[in-house]
Amino acid sequence: AVVSTQSTGGMVSAIATHHGTIYTSSPDGTLARSQMLESGDLEVAQSTSLECKSVGVLRVRDDGKLYVAGGWDGGVRLYSCKRDKFLGVVEAHSPETVTDIVLWGGNRVTTAGRDNKVAFWTFY
């Protein structure tokens, strides 16, 4: 199915899913949490402005408590899902290079970038 993203702010630069919730980020730094309607449209349940404009990669931890956003500025940011609270940033890559994020072991993050770097870090 192809759906309209007009309700999520238009263009989507990153997308992630968790238990039926669709997380999208737009180039202006807006993160939207949406649900798929029977009509095929996305209904925004909540939206917030991220610390980083232009997110290229977005991942939600398996327990749904945290999400990680890889910005086009090379920074990897950690957020609380419950309150969309910014928790910290790791400047791991050169600008415009974060290509993938893997969350594992509950508190570990691995990122890869077009700058030929792989970064590993642990948070609380």
Report pLDDT for 61: 92
Report pLDDT for 102: 92
Contacts for 79 with CB less than 8 Å, ≥ 6 apart: 50, 66, 67, 68, 69, 85, 86, 87
Confidence of residue 5 (pLDDT cuts 50, 70, 90): low
Contacts for 100 with CB less than 8 Å, ≥ 6 apart: 57, 70, 111, 112
Tokens of 52: 């980083």
Residue 8 has pLDDT above 60, yes or no: no
Backbone angles phi and psi of 113, in degrees to 5: -145, 165
Model confidence pLDDT, tens digit, residues 39-96: 877 788 888 888 777 888 899 999 999 999 888 888 898 989 888 888 988 888 888 8
Read off the pTM: 0.80
User: Beta-carbon neighbour count of residue 30 at 10 Å?
Assistant: 19
Report pLDDT for 111: 92
Element (H, E) at 116: none
